[in-house]
Every structure is written in structure tokens, then in C-alpha cells.
């Protein structure tokens, strides 16, 4: 019974986020336990300095302090040794600090172990220290390492747990850009009307990659779609770019997944109701995806067959089967799959004018 009491109390202490705990809280966690059994379990943890009495808090009738400072180090000694052994056996890079895992339950290490191995292999394969890499966005570096542009956004604390800063991975600090960058270029004239061209990029990382090269293009503006947000503001484009009376050809490039297709489809339907805006698919960007390996991780997205059909109606027929197969196999392509040079090359292939 004492062993069970000790295990229950240790489990409770491991779950605490604060460095102190009250006797009342421990008793509440062990409410069905006989007091003498509880008392012995607490005193056993006192003897190994896991629980250190806070004398100012006073004592109860059995001599237990009413408040304790928690030192979990002794509880994790065996776990820390196992982690150290595994790290050596798996050849984990010494750049990664595993101290955090050695002072937390083993399940934390088991949860992150695969990601740590992937990150370790990436660091060991680099030709130079990661901080000397060309600066890029967190999404791009996440894709470079894990093949998932959102991994380091979803698990934002992984690098912190490993004692690794974003700067140490060559990630440039970024402020959110304006929703639209304007290029003061003379619009085209066609059949007596002014014609402007725009490119919508769904995600921030590829937008940031293309932004410095905007003057090299014939675009009037480079628009950041931010997923579904573009639907609320697309009708403001003519006025915001300074040509409210012009006709606007808007090219669209987003992620090739079910969600990206839904955004494209709904935006296309909205633009059909706008007299001065004509939305077109930026085809070369999408076909460039097919030269890259597919990504996995969005199997939970619901299919949108109507959106896919609308997408394929604008896509050359030879590519239809390839794109259908990607989605059918539970895969997708994020925009981050394309590097800056590819993005620029794709833009040059997008047909100019009408």
C-alpha cells in the first residue's frame, strides 16, 4: 500500500507547474488514502529531498509541513539516464540540449523523440553552422527540416525545450507584412481601357520571398491572401491600388490541399460578382509543385470535389490525373515547397496581359 501511495503522490507532483505545493493539495489528491499511509509517503519524499518543508507555513498534528518546495530531480534520475543512453545510441546532435526532458516525465521525451531525431539529422547534414544559412521564414525552415511548413508553428515550444533559438536555425525575425504591396508601374492600355495585374499569395512566407522582386514584375500589386481573409477584402482591391476605374486581372496561388482549393473556389465565385475583377489561376506555380515530393499531414481535411473540379477546369488536361492522385493519396503541396528562384521563374511563365 505504501508503494502505491508513493507512486500516486509522485505522479501528482510531476504534474505540478508551480515549484511549491500545499499539504491540503496533496491530501486532496490522495483523498482515499489513510492518513498514516499518506504521512509515510510524504516523509519518504522528504528524506530524498523531493519535498522540502517551508517552515514558515507551519506543521500539522502529524509533523508534516503545511507547505513544501518541490524538487523533482531525484524522481527523474532513472529517466534522465535512459534519455542520455538513447541520445548516444541514436546519435543525437550535441547542439540540442536535452536537459528539459531529463527533468520532466519520460512521456515528454517519447512524444518529441522522432521530431528531435529529424532535427538532429538536419543539423548534422548542414554544410555550415545553421546560423550562417541564408535567412528565411520559420515556415520555410520548418518545411526544410520536417517537410511540414506548419510543424514549428504548431509545436512552437519544441525549439525552446531543446535550448535552440530561431536565430540559431537561420530564421529571420519577421513582422507581419501589409496585406498588399504596391508597385508604381504604368498600367497596360488595352482597347481603350486601363488594365492592372495582381498576384495573390495565400501564405506569408512565399509572399515575403517574392516581395523584394516586385519591381522586376509587371504586377501592379502583390497581395497577401492570409487564407480565408482575402474573401472579405478582394472587392477593395481596385480602390486600394489607386485604379478604381481599371480592369483588374488577379492571379491566384495557394496551397494545393482541400482547404486551399476551397479558398480558391469561394474567391472565384465572389469575383464573378465583381465587374472590374477577373480571377485567374496562376498555373505555373501549381505545376511546379509536381517536381517536388508530396507532403503528408492534412488527412483530416474534408474533400471538396466541387472545388477540385473548378480548379482542374483551369488546369491543362495532362495534369489532371497527377493532381487528383495527390489528394486521393492523402497528400498535399504547401506553397513553401517552392523556393524563391522557382517562385520568380513561375511568375515569368504566367501569361502577361489578357
pLDDT at 353: 38
Same domain, 112 and 26: no
48 in a domain, yes or no? yes
Give 187's pLDDT tier (boundaries 50, 70, 90): confident
Give 47's pLDDT tier (boundaries 50, 70, 90): confident
Same domain, 213 and 302: yes
Same domain, 298 and 324: yes
Same domain, 162 and 300: no
Query: pLDDT tens digit string along 309-353?
Result: 999 999 999 999 999 999 999 999 999 999 989 998 998 887 543
Give 177's pLDDT tier (boundaries 50, 70, 90): low
Same domain, 344 and 242: yes
Q: Is 53 helix (H, G, I), strand (E, B) or coil?
A: strand
Same domain, 101 and 60: no
For residue 20, give the CATH number of its domain: 1.10.10
Same domain, 239 and 141: no
193 in a domain, yes or no? yes
Q: How many domains does the chain have?
A: 3
54 in a domain, yes or no? yes
DSSP β-ladder status, 247-253 and 193-201? parallel
262 in a domain, yes or no? yes
| CA dist list (Å): 203 to 22, 59, 158, 217, 219 | 48, 59, 22, 19, 18
Query: pLDDT tens digit string along 289-307?
Result: 999 999 998 888 899 999 9
- Domain housing 135: 75-169
Quick check: 354 pLDDT over 60?
no
Which pTM was predicted? 0.68
Decide: 135 and 171 in contact? Cβ < 8 Å.
Answer: yes
Same domain, 141 and 213: no
Amino acid at each position: 500500500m505504501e508503494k502505491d501511495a508513493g507512486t500516486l503522490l509522485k505522479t501528482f507532483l510531476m504534474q505540478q507547474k508551480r515549484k511549491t505545493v500545499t499539504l491540503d493539495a496533496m491530501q486532496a489528491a490522495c483523498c482515499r488514502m489513510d492518513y498514516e499511509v499518506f504521512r509515510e509517503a510524504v516523509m519518504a519524499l522528504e528524506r530524498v529531498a523531493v519535498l522540502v518543508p517551508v517552515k514558515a507555513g507551519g506543521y500539522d498534528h502529524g509533523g508534516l509541513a503545511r507547505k513544501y518546495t518541490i524538487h523533482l530531480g531525484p524522481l527523474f534520475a532513472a529517466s534522465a539516464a535512459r534519455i542520455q543512453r538513447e541520445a548516444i545510441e541514436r546519435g543525437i546532435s550535441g547542439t540540442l540540449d536535452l536537459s528539459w526532458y531529463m527533468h520532466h516525465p519520460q512521456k515528454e521525451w517519447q512524444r518529441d523523440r522522432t521530431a528531435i531525431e529529424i532535427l538532429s539529422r538536419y543539423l548534422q547534414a548542414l554544410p555550415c553552422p545553421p546560423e550562417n544559412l541564408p535567412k528565411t521564414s520559420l515556415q520555410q525552415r520548418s518545411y526544410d527540416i520536417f517537410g511540414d511548413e506548419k510543424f514549428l508553428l504548431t509545436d512552437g515550444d519544441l525549439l525552446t525545450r531543446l535550448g535552440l533559438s530561431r536565430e540559431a536555425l537561420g530564421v529571420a525575425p519577421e513582422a507581419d507584412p501589409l496585406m498588399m504591396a504596391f508597385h508604381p508601374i504604368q498600367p497596360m492600355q488595352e482597347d481603350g481601357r486601363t488594365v492592372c495585374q495582381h498576384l495573390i499569395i495565400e501564405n506569408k512566407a512565399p509572399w515575403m520571398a517574392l516581395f523584394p522582386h516586385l519591381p522586376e514584375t509587371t504586377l501592379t500589386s502583390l497581395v497577401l491572401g492570409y487564407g480565408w481573409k482575402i474573401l472579405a477584402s478582394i472587392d477593395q482591391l481596385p480602390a486600394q491600388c489607386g485604379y478604381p476605374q481599371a480592369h483588374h486581372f488577379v492571379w491566384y496561388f495557394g496551397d494545393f490541399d482541400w482547404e486551399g482549393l476551397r479558398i480558391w473556389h469561394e474567391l472565384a465565385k465572389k469575383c464573378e460578382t465583381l465587374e472590374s475583377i477577373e480571377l485567374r489561376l496562376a498555373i505555373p506555380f501549381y505545376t511546379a509543385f509536381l517536381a517536388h515530393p508530396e507532403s503528408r499531414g492534412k488527412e483530416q481535411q474534408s474533400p471538396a470535389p466541387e472545388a477540385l473540379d473548378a480548379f482542374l477546369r483551369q488546369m491543362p488536361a495532362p495534369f489532371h490525373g497527377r493532381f487528383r492522385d495527390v489528394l486521393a493519396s492523402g497528400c498535399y503541396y504547401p506553397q513553401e515547397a517552392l523556393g524563391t528562384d522557382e517562385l520568380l521563374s513561375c511568375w515569368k511563365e504566367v501569361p502577361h496581359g489578357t
